[in-house]
Amino acid sequence: MVRTSLLVRLLALSAVVSLLSIGATAWLAVRTTTRAIQQERGQALTDEAKVYDALLGYAAGHPDWSGVGPLVTKLAAETGHRIALTGRAREPIADSAGALPEPEAAGALPDQALATVDPLAVAADDPIDPRALGPFRLTAAEKSLLHTIATRVQSCLRDPPIAPAPAPDGQDRVMIHNVEIVDEPNGRPRIEAAGTDLSADTITCAEGRADLAAPTATERKALTRLGKLVNACLARQDIPAVTIGLANTWTWADPESARTGERRNQPVADCLTAGRREQLASYVAPAALVFVTTPGTAATSTLDLSPANQRRIFTVTGLVLLAAIGVTTLVGVRLIRPLRALTAAAGRMRDGDASASVKVTGRDEIGRLAAAFNDMAERRRHVEQLRKTMVGDIAHEMRTPVTNIRGWLEAAADGVVPLDRELMFSLLEEALLLQHVIDDLQDLSAADAGELRLHPQLVEMAELLPAITEAFASAADRAGVTLTVAAPPTLITADPIRLRQAVGNLITNAIRHTPAGGHVNILSGTADGLLRIDVRDTGPGLPLDQQALVFERFWRAEKSRSRQTGGSGLGLSIVRKLAEAHGGSASVSSTPGEGATFTVHLPLDQRD
């Protein structure tokens, strides 16, 4: 893989070297022939057409000529001509030769202009340049939506769905190949299929094609305005109204007019053109005259392949190749050395060396690759350690209840203890503890897989938090802990069951770690677009180095991992996953000896 990547890069570098050699040779040849080639009429016509088309495109997309100067200068530099732009009365607009009007300094303009640049009068069949979009210009959101629909239609045409019943005309649906998406000037995509008449097919993917052909909100607004202009023109000629569609199409608004109005088609077309011009007039630059002239210089000779020029060409080409070979050698050495180190480190990692890493020697792509490799190796070591720890933790958490259940059942089977109601309650308690661990693991597994389903609805925190607190009142009384809640009215869209689960886990954890006579306070508030739920206890608190680990699975502050305080060791991990599933987060702050505060942040802007 490394050799393949290196080969590709070296081949690309060789291609660049070849292009540099050819470019240098071509530059020398073009320098001796440019003036002669420009005197040819064909090149002049090409340059003039290029200038005219570029200025016409500018006029179609801008309401005035105020910013055309850089474009005129760029076109002059590309074509080698002087380009001047004036109004119809020859008032100056832009000139690549210098400021107008000073003909003595820049040279007088010819009597005849090259052309009139008017995006509203460019051709006989359609006098309006298609780049003159005006109010028909689509928004970025509309372009994105239409492209999504076009992609769906393209896939449908290439592989049409199986119809639940035969087509009404008895024709089978067939796949259409060579389906392409082509963008029109305003960004609207259209479907084209080489050699296939899609207009004759009214069955295949008809719904998607209808969505694609429907006007957007921007187009509907512009079409409404255009329809008013066209119908006003027709009304002045006592011609019935029409309905304007996309692509300059129209239909009679009255079906009766469609049967009797063939001889009125041309007036409608004329009114449509006039309406389009009136609608676009404020969006395009006014008509202007363009002048293209060639500065008066002596004609140069044609291609000169004299011995001196040939020596110059070979010398420059040789120098470029020599420089390229030197650069290739340096780059190749620089590439190979770190890549070999990366390959060796990857091999050690494959063989089980968890400490495999490479030395980062630069800040270029290879250096960043080495840094990424080291980060990956460190992450792999961390994940492997978490995996081993989690396997041991799961075994430990499930071994205790399973061992107890087995021990009591064996004792009952051997007749050591009677299988009475008290023993059944003890076995049930162990089974419930085992089920609790399994349920917590299932919740975490669903969250890790992105399959934790939420059923959000509007929740009033002033009602939910007191209800949750009330459910833990008896447990708090048994532990000698005082529960208080302060929740101002706040509406949020969330899953009330999952939110109850998260807050309940925090309250359970707080009661478990608060000594008798202590307090657990549940508070809520809003700030910076977030809902904040705090569960504060007056327990022993957490050292700073343990606060970063408290949400890890099976982690407990008791190093002995004693179960005397209860719990599966997964409650806080579930709290964090539930908060993240709602688009929020969970955190802890604590001062040793002064209790801990567990906080859940949820965004307030989730409401539908």
DSSP states of 490-547: -EEEE-HHHHHHHHHHHHHHHHHTS-TT-EEEEEEEEETTEEEEEEEE-S----HHHH
Say if CB 581 and CB 605 are below 8 A apart.
no
Closest of 209, 205, 244, 215 to residue 227, by C-alpha: 244
139: tokens are 């928004």
Distance (Å, whole) CA 372 – CA 368:
6
The per-residue pLDDT for 248 is 83
- Residues with Cβ < 8 Å from 497, sequence gap 6 or more? 455
DSSP string, 258-307: HHH-GGGHHHHHHHHHHHHHHHHTTTSPPPEEEEEE----PPPPS----H
Angle at which helices 2-38 and 307-350 cross, to 10°:
160
Q: Indicate the SS3 state at residue 341.
A: helix
C-alpha distance from residue 120 to each of 87, 192, 275 (Å): 15, 28, 11
Strand bridging mode 482-486 / 519-527: parallel
Bridge partners of 537? 520
The per-residue pLDDT for 523 is 94
Counting Cα atoms < 13 Å in the Cβ hemisphere of 132 gives: 28
Question: Between vectors from CA 373 to CA 371 and to CA 378, what angle results, nearest 5°?
Answer: 95
Distance (Å, whole) CA 334 – CA 127:
60
Consecutive H or E run containing 551: none
pLDDT digits (tens, 9 = 90+) for 327-349: 776 776 667 777 778 888 888 87
Q: What are phi and psi of 591, to 5 degrees?
A: -120, 120
**Sheet strands (E) in 241-287:** 242-245, 249-252
Q: What are phi and psi of 292, to 5 degrees?
A: -125, 115
334: tokens are 């620089």
Distance (Å, whole) CA 491 – CA 503:
16
- Residues with Cβ < 8 Å from 515, sequence gap 6 or more? 480, 538, 539
Say if CB 96 and CB 291 are below 8 A apart.
no
Distance (Å, whole) CA 376 – CA 226:
61
Distance (Å, whole) CA 243 – CA 249:
9
Say if CB 249 and CB 260 are below 8 A apart.
no
The per-residue pLDDT for 514 is 92
Say if CB 250 and CB 276 are below 8 A apart.
no
Distance (Å, whole) CA 513 – CA 507:
10
55: tokens are 């200025």
Below-70 pLDDT ranges, the chain: 1-15, 17-19, 21-22, 24-44, 99-107, 124, 161-177, 195-202, 257-263, 296-306, 325, 329, 332-334, 386-400, 429, 433, 436-437, 440-452, 553-569, 605-608
Query: Which residue do the tokens 């006579």 mark?
Result: 517
User: Within 10 Å of residue 491's Cβ, how many Cβ atoms?
Assistant: 13
Distance (Å, whole) CA 24 – CA 221:
55
**Sheet strands (E) in 138-185:** 179-183
Bridge partners of 214? none
Distance (Å, whole) CA 131 – CA 126:
12
The per-residue pLDDT for 32 is 60
Widest Cα–Cα separation across the chain: 124
353: tokens are 């060396």
Query: What is the dihedral sign for C-alpha 101, 103, 106, 108?
Result: positive
DSSP string, 311-327: HHHHHHHHHHHHHHHHH
Query: Which residue do the tokens 């109005």 mark?
Result: 261
Question: Between vectors from CA 40 to CA 36 and to CA 42, what angle results, nearest 5°?
Answer: 145
The per-residue pLDDT for 563 is 45
Residue 34 Cα to chain centre, angstroms: 46
The per-residue pLDDT for 22 is 65
Q: Indicate the SS3 state at residue 482.
A: strand
The number of helices, as runs of H, and strands, as runs of E, in the chain is 17, 15
Q: What are phi and psi of 381, to 5 degrees?
A: -65, -40
- At position 320, the amino acid (one-letter code) is V
**Composition of the chain by helix, strand, coil, percent to 5:** 55, 15, 35
User: Within 10 Å of residue 285's Cβ, how many Cβ atoms?
Assistant: 24
Written in H, E and C, the secondary structure of 417-476 is CCCCHHHHHHHHHHHHHHHHHHHHHHHHHHHHCCCCCCCCEEEEHHHHHHHHHHHCHHHH
Say if CB 116 and CB 287 are below 8 A apart.
yes
Strand bridging mode 242-245 / 189-193: unpaired
Closest of 68, 90, 122, 483 to residue 280, by C-alpha: 122
Question: Between vectors from CA 451 to CA 446 and to CA 452, what angle results, nearest 5°?
Answer: 70
The per-residue pLDDT for 105 is 38
Question: Between vectors from CA 325 to CA 322 and to CA 327, what angle results, nearest 5°?
Answer: 110
Distance (Å, whole) CA 508 – CA 571:
9
